[in-house]
Amino acid sequence: MKNSSDYFQQLDQEDVLHQYRDMFFIPKNKNNNDLIYYCGNSLGLLSKQANAAVKQELDDWATYGVEGHLEAKYPWVKYHEFLCEPMAEIVGAKPKEVVMMNGLTTNLHLMMISFYRPTKTRHKILIEFSAFPSDRYAVESQIKFHGYDPNESLIILKPSSKNGYITIEQIQEILKTEGEEIALVLIGSVNYYTGQAYPISQITKLAKSYGANVGFDLAHGAGNLDLKLHEDGPDFAVWCGYKYLNGGPGCIAGCFVHERHHDDNNLPRLSGWWGHDKVSRFKMGSKFEMMIGAEGWQLSNPPILAMAALRESLLLFQKAGINNLRTKSIRMHNLLANLLREWAHPNINIITPEKDDEKGCQLSIQLKQPDKKIFNSLIENNIIGDWREPDVIRIAPVPLYNCYSELFIFYNSLKRIIENHG
């Protein structure tokens, strides 16, 4: 039976990715039992290989000092290059279109310097409803920086339904109305609140048809969705490295710039010496010689210890294969959603779309009668998800380290907690 513990355990035995769970440290409770960790959409888990990778860099620092830039096992002067190929595979880009650098919001600002170029007749930015607050803060500050008023220049793509769902038809309609005044369309690939995944290719084509630049925040998409950035053609994308990519708290972030912009020397940008041509960088010339590709947007030399942990996680992605991970992710999501829908409790509303191409790992469970005590009870039952005000429990079964049997445990725990809730 598909609603039995035996069925879910059988799925674990058949899972071709099951061995990857053992490559991560699973958080434990006070009795040293594994917790059910469903918070990879907020902070991914530590890979066991990352410990050795960071130690390698510490040992090389101790052994070589400054000479580690050239003599370390993975020479520091080109360390970011070790991440480009596996990261490019994850986001569906060419290696030269991808670079890991800075933090997400810093990268977003750098991209808006280049791709938000407002004029008197085209100065608006379109963002999604319930965008992650950091994105909104950054966008509003860029609008003000250029001398415009966010009350006039910021357009919020609002849903028509109570679930926060946004259709492609709604996007078409707002572009039809406002498109000639929109300078930049900036959408999160997966909405952090609802879990809805947006169609990057369709949005890009629509935005371009109205002459707008287009970028995506992949904070909840990179390492989660099967992305095709080069093929879909947005001007840029940015993402963090600490969620699904498991790079560690505050990990270095990523940036994609489509290759059609790589030779554009007139594109405005903020420059730093690590964006200088690597062949002549250390000649310390006074004239900036821009590096071709996404690397040309770099400012400073990379933080090696932070990159070491991320590199090991990216190598695991490379071995597992993003297609395999995506297949398992969809299956886990659907199994859990089906259990909850069959239960059909009146206080439960799943606001994440049902269609496979409109969701990632995350399942957003809305409580029609919000009470955070229900979420707190999940923690007391050794289940780590997260709560988003005012009424949503976010659960993210991650295919690299979560297993099928945990889904059934979570379902029964939530069912028991809600049915016993006063």
Residue 27: give its domain's CATH number.
Answer: 3.90.1150.10
Quickly tell me which residue has 């496979």 as its tokens.
356
**Spatial distance between the Cα atoms of 190 and 60, rounded to a whole number of angstroms:** 39
State whether 94 and 147 are in the same domain.
yes
Number of domains in the chain: 2
What is the pLDDT at residue 290? 85
State whether 292 and 330 are in the same domain.
no
Last-in-domain residue among 272, 287, 318 = 318
Q: Which domain holds residue 371?
A: 5-34+321-420
State whether 335 and 407 are in the same domain.
yes
In a domain, 42, yes or no: no
Give this prediction's pTM: 0.95
CATH label of the domain that carries residue 81: 3.40.640.10
For the chain, helix, strand, coil in percent to 5 are 45, 15, 40
What is the pLDDT at residue 1? 57
In a domain, 296, yes or no: yes
What is the pLDDT at residue 131? 77
What is the pLDDT at residue 329? 98
What is the pLDDT at residue 152? 96
State whether 134 and 123 are in the same domain.
yes
Q: Are 274 and 209 in contact (CB under 8 A)?
A: no
State whether 65 and 161 are in the same domain.
yes
What is the pLDDT at residue 280? 83
Closest CA to 15 of 225, 321, 315, 324: 324
Last-in-domain residue among 284, 318, 352 = 318
> Which long-range contacts link 5-14 to residues 24+ away (Cβ below 8 Å)?
5/405, 5/408, 7/408, 8/335, 8/404, 8/405, 8/407, 8/408, 9/404, 9/405, 11/404, 11/405, 12/403, 12/404, 12/405
Using DSSP, state whether 256 is helix, strand or coil: strand
In a domain, 71, yes or no: yes
Residue 159 has phi, psi (to 5 degrees) of -80, 155
Quickly tell me which residue has 């803060």 as its tokens.
137
In a domain, 395, yes or no: yes
Chunked into runs of 10 residues, the chain (422 residues) has average pLDDT values of: 86 96 96 96 96 96 97 96 97 98 96 97 93 89 97 91 85 95 96 94 97 97 98 98 96 97 91 86 83 93 94 96 97 97 95 96 95 95 94 97 97 95 70
